[in-house]
């Protein structure tokens, strides 16, 4: 999940690489480096730490040239250090490589290279690639790369330069994302679109097993075996400013405030004026849908939590049994997948390795795979049978917010479409929910206009080390997401429990003063939840309750403080109740002085298993 950027053209490569790396820092930020072809030959500058450290090195001694590759690292093999930073070189310093992914057989390759006299300077898996390329070089860098990668097993996106051919930049993709940017008299590589968006909107997306050879004037696309291929160029509509903070202190805050737009954009074109849902992207006919016997939802982290809500939505609307599973567990337990199973994979980035592996497992077993993803052209989007795009726009903060809530909207749309197509619910029921969905963006805006109490509460919990979330039904699903968000960016330990389950053990952990956030948006379950709240309160828990405006007075009598969200249909409450939880996490992280957008030990896109 490292970031790669590369440039070949006529402009100052250093500034283009450094600016590109800034856009990619969310992919990994424990070290950064660049390699450039200069008058003195191939030069490498790299440093442990944030990109700013590398920049300070470059300030004193800039690299001058018009060809280069850059990398921002999220450590997998070898600790964050100057030596382990990319780019890596061979012993002669004539070849330089940046890599995103993991070389699974690097230990064997390393032993073999050491036996042949190679000296390694890093602990990384990547360094074997630079030595292999050097070993295979016979005057043609493309051939050398092609030969070198035949030895590799694993995932890699690569950028490769050699001092011997300063007018060529070679890029390879195998199971790690890589795009090629097309300019005039200049070309780019990037592991993600924002890295090059400032310079071009025209891109080629490489598929697995493909490579590109860039000069300043040409781009040749070929398979790794060397067969030339042609590819349609994609024009990216994203506004460069969209990927910036736009006046907010943090990307996370900006992205929380973008949720009304993300909801509207995700519903746009899918909700008809008669309040029915159209999903032409679902490539299953009504007859095929009627044949679906079960649904598996597979995802990781926050996307998995969206799946938990999706289960209730689909089971309620389509009356089809749904299982939800974390992707890293799914394929290793021989899941019962048949051609009558609809497998829904959910991934913001569309590049999460575990989710991609689950998708492949599902396809191999004959299931139709529907991807809910935020990134056009991502691996998940390209490999799934049907793709439902969430229209959240680029999400930069590591903590997912608008992508999660847009995934909820996607599940609502899917649920209503299924109910409509399978006639499992009355038309009026579907229309009522669709009408309520259309009101959600404005209701989120109301919540975002009323955050003072959330800030105060967050500041009060920032001194605590433990916290609990409780809820029933979809409130429990949202509680799990709230708990992950809080842990991820505030580093406060928290646990989410089904409210009725606490007394089966966890209640032992409740002691005087422990903060508990109780979600009670399911009006039909309010009394039951209130009973559970009282069990906690009797043991000293301090409770912050969240309900809709209609029940706030009743809930207020049982809790220490209550926060009211606007009223909506009970199935839709997650799209509202998650917002105060996101704000509480944000403010708690701020109060603790943490790096909100780049929490420790984490990366935005997890492309290793
Ligand atoms: O890109 P994906 O949605 O596949 O990512 C899955 C998780 O890694 C991601 O949701 C992670 O849990 C977030 N950092 C949580 O905020």
The per-residue pLDDT for range 458-469, each reduced to its tens digit, is 999 999 999 999
301 CA to centre of ligand 1 in angstroms:
5
Tokens describing residue 300: 């990781």
599 CA to centre of ligand 1 in angstroms:
13
Q: Whose CA is nearest to atom 14 of ligand 1?
A: 399
Structural domain boundaries, residue 232: 3-244
Q: Are residues 8 and 97 in the same domain?
A: yes
Q: Is 490 helix (H, G, I), strand (E, B) or coil?
A: helix
Q: Are residues 396 and 513 in the same domain?
A: no
Q: Are residues 167 and 49 in the same domain?
A: yes
Atom of ligand 1 nearest to the CA of 301: 12
Q: Are residues 427 and 471 in the same domain?
A: no
**pLDDT score for 109:** 97
Q: Are residues 418 and 458 in the same domain?
A: no
**Do 171 and 158 contact (CB within 8 A), yes or no?**
yes
**pLDDT score for 454:** 98
Residue-wise pLDDT tens digits, 19-63: 999 988 866 678 999 999 999 999 999 999 989 999 999 998 999
Pocket test for ligand 1, best of 251, 297, 302, 608 (most atoms within 8 A of CB): 302
318 CA to centre of ligand 1 in angstroms:
27
Residue 262 located in a structural domain: no
Sorting pLDDT into bands at 50, 70 and 90, what band is 244?
Answer: low
Distance separating alpha carbons of residues 163 and 148, to the nearest angstrom:
17
Residue-wise pLDDT tens digits, 98-122: 999 889 899 999 999 999 999 999 9
Q: Are residues 277 and 160 in the same domain?
A: no
Q: Whose CA is nearest to atom 11 of ligand 1?
A: 301
Distance separating alpha carbons of residues 196 and 560, to the nearest angstrom:
50
Whether residue 242 is predicted with pLDDT greater than 90 in this model: the reply is no
Q: How far is CA 188 from the centre of its chain?
A: 23
Q: Are residues 506 and 465 in the same domain?
A: yes
**pLDDT score for 603:** 80
Atom of ligand 1 nearest to the CA of 401: 16
Q: Whose CA is nearest to atom 12 of ligand 1?
A: 301
What is the domain-level CATH number for residue 539? 3.40.50.10490
Residue 524 located in a structural domain: yes
Q: What is the mean pLDDT of the chain?
A: 94
Q: Can you tell me which residue has the tokens 């917002």?
A: 579
**Do 562 and 552 contact (CB within 8 A), yes or no?**
yes
**pLDDT score for 233:** 93
Q: Can you tell me which residue has the tokens 């994302």?
A: 177
Average pLDDT over residues 512-529: 94
Average pLDDT over residues 503-513: 89
453 CA to centre of ligand 1 in angstroms:
28
Q: Are residues 236 and 339 in the same domain?
A: no
What are the residue ranges of helices labelled H in 194-269? 251-257, 259-267
Q: Whose CA is nearest to atom 8 of ligand 1?
A: 301
Is the alpha carbon torsion for 347, 348, 354, 360 positive or negative? positive
**pLDDT score for 28:** 65
Residue 599 located in a structural domain: no
Q: Are residues 481 and 382 in the same domain?
A: no
Q: Are residues 41 and 113 in the same domain?
A: yes
Q: 32 has which bridge partners?
A: 47, 72
Atom of ligand 1 nearest to the CA of 400: 16
Q: Can you tell me which residue has the tokens 């009627």?
A: 290
Indicate if ligand 1 lies below 6 Å from the C-beta of 347. yes
Distance separating alpha carbons of residues 284 and 294, to the nearest angstrom:
14
Percent share of the chain, pLDDT over 90: 84
Q: So which residues are the catalytic ones?
A: 2, 604
**pLDDT score for 252:** 96
The residue out of 400, 421, 440 marking a domain boundary is: 440
Split into its structural domains, the chain has a count of 3
**pLDDT score for 104:** 83
- The closest of 160, 211, 214, 156 to 185, measured between CA atoms, is 214
353 CA to centre of ligand 1 in angstroms:
11
Residue-wise pLDDT tens digits, 322-362: 999 999 999 888 899 999 999 999 999 999 999 999 999 99
Sorting pLDDT into bands at 50, 70 and 90, what band is 246?
Answer: low
Whether residue 75 is predicted with pLDDT greater than 60 in this model: the reply is yes
Indicate if ligand 1 lies below 6 Å from the C-beta of 47. no
Q: Are residues 176 and 306 in the same domain?
A: no
Indicate if ligand 1 lies below 6 Å from the C-beta of 606. yes
Distance separating alpha carbons of residues 127 and 465, to the nearest angstrom:
41
Residue-wise pLDDT tens digits, 521-551: 999 999 999 999 999 999 999 999 999 999 9
Residue 608 located in a structural domain: no
Instruction: Provide CB contacts within 8 A for 162, sequence distance 6+.
Output: 42, 94, 95, 96, 133, 137, 141, 144, 168
404 CA to centre of ligand 1 in angstroms:
9
Indicate if ligand 1 lies below 6 Å from the C-beta of 398. yes
530 CA to centre of ligand 1 in angstroms:
32
Please indicate, yes or no, whether the overall pTM of this predicted structure exceeds 0.75: yes
Indicate if ligand 1 lies below 6 Å from the C-beta of 255. no
Residue 114 located in a structural domain: yes
Residue 603 located in a structural domain: no
Residue 388 located in a structural domain: yes
**pLDDT score for 175:** 81
Average pLDDT over residues 175-192: 93
Indicate if ligand 1 lies below 6 Å from the C-beta of 407. no
Residue-wise pLDDT tens digits, 282-307: 999 999 999 999 999 999 999 999 99
The residue out of 405, 440, 475 marking a domain boundary is: 440
What's the chain's Rg over C-alpha atoms? 25
Atom of ligand 1 nearest to the CA of 349: 1
- The closest of 588, 257, 266 to 401, measured between CA atoms, is 257
What are the residue ranges of helices labelled H in 67-165? 106-115, 127-136, 141-149
Residue-wise pLDDT tens digits, 247-256: 688 999 999 9
**pLDDT score for 548:** 96
Residue 600 located in a structural domain: no
Indicate if ligand 1 lies below 6 Å from the C-beta of 394. no
Q: Are residues 374 and 409 in the same domain?
A: yes
Whether residue 241 is predicted with pLDDT greater than 60 in this model: the reply is no
């Amino acid at each position: 999940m490292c970031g790669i950027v590369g440039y070949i053209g006529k402009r100052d490569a250093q500034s283009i690489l450094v600016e590109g790396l800034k856009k990619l820092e969310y992919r990994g930020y424990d070290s950064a480096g660049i390699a450039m072809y200069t008058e003195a030959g191939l030069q490498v500058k790299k440093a442990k730490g944030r990109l700013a450290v590398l920049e300070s090195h470059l300030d004193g001694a800039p690299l001058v040239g018009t060809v280069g590759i850059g990398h921002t690292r999220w450590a997998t093999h070898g600790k964050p250090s100057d030596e382990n930073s990319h780019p890596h070189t061979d012993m002669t310093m004539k070849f330089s490589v940046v890599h995103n992914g993991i070389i699974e057989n690097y230990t064997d390759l390393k032993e073999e290279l050491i036996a042949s006299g190679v000296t390694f300077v890093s602990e990384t898996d990547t360094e074997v690639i630079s030595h292999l390329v050097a070993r295979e070089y016979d005057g043609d860098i493309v051939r050398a790369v092609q030969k070198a990668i035949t030895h590799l097993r694993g995932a890699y996106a690569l950028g490769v330069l050699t001092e011997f051919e300063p007018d060529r930049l070679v890029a390879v993709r195998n199971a790690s994302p890589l795009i090629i940017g097309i300019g005039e008299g200049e070309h780019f590589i990037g592991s993600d679109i924002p890295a090059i968006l400032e310079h071009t909107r025209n891109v080629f997306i490489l598929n697995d097993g493909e490579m590109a050879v860039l000069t300043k004037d040409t781009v040749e696309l070929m398979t790794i075996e060397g067969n030339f291929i042609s590819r349609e160029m994609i024009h990216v509509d994203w506004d460069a400013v969209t990927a910036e903070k736009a006046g907010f202190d943090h990307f996370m805050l900006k992205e929380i405030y973008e949720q009304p737009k993300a909801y509207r954009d995700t519903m746009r074109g899918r909700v008809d004026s008669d309040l029915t849902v159209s999903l032409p992207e679902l490539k299953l006919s009504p007859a095929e849908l009627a044949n679906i016997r079960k649904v598996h939802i597979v995802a990781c982290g926050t996307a998995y939590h969206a799946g938990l809500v999706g289960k209730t939505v689909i089971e309620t609307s389509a009356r089809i049994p749904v299982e939800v599973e974390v992707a890293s567990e799914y394929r290793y337990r021989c899941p019962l997948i048949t051609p009558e199973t609809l497998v829904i994979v959910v991934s913001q980035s569309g590049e999460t390795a575990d989710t991609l592996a689950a998708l492949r497992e599902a396809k191999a077993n004959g299931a139709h795979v529907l991807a809910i993803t935020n990134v056009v052209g991502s691996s998940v989007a390209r490999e799934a049978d049907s793709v439902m795009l969430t229209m959240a726009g680029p999400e930069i903060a590591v903590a997912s917010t608008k992508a999660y809530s847009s995934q909820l909207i996607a599940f609502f749309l899917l649920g209503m479409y299924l109910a409509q197509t399978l006639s499992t619910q009355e038309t009026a029921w579907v229309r009522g929910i669709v009408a309520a969905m259309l009101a959600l963006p404005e209701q989120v805006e109301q919540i975002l206009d009323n955050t003072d109490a959330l800030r105060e509460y967050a500041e009060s919990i920032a001194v605590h080390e433990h916290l609990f979330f409780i809820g029933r039904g979809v409130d429990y699903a949202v509680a799990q997401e709230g708990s992950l968000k809080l842990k991820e960016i505030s580093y406060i330990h928290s646990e989410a429990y089904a409210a009725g389950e606490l007394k089966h053990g966890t209640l032992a952990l409740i002691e005087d003063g422990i903060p508990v956030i109780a979600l009670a948006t399911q009006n039909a379950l309010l009394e039951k939840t209130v009973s559970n709240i009282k069990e906690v309160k009797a043991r000293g828990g301090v409770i912050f309750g969240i309900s809709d405006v209609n029940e706030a007075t009743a809930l207020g009598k049982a809790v220490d403080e209550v926060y009211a969200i606007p009223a909506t249909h009970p199935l839709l409450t997650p799209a509202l109740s998650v917002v105060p939880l996101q704000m509480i996490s944000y403010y708690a992280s701020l109060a603790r002085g943490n790096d909100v957008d780049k929490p420790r030990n984490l990366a935005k896109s997890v492309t290793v298993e």
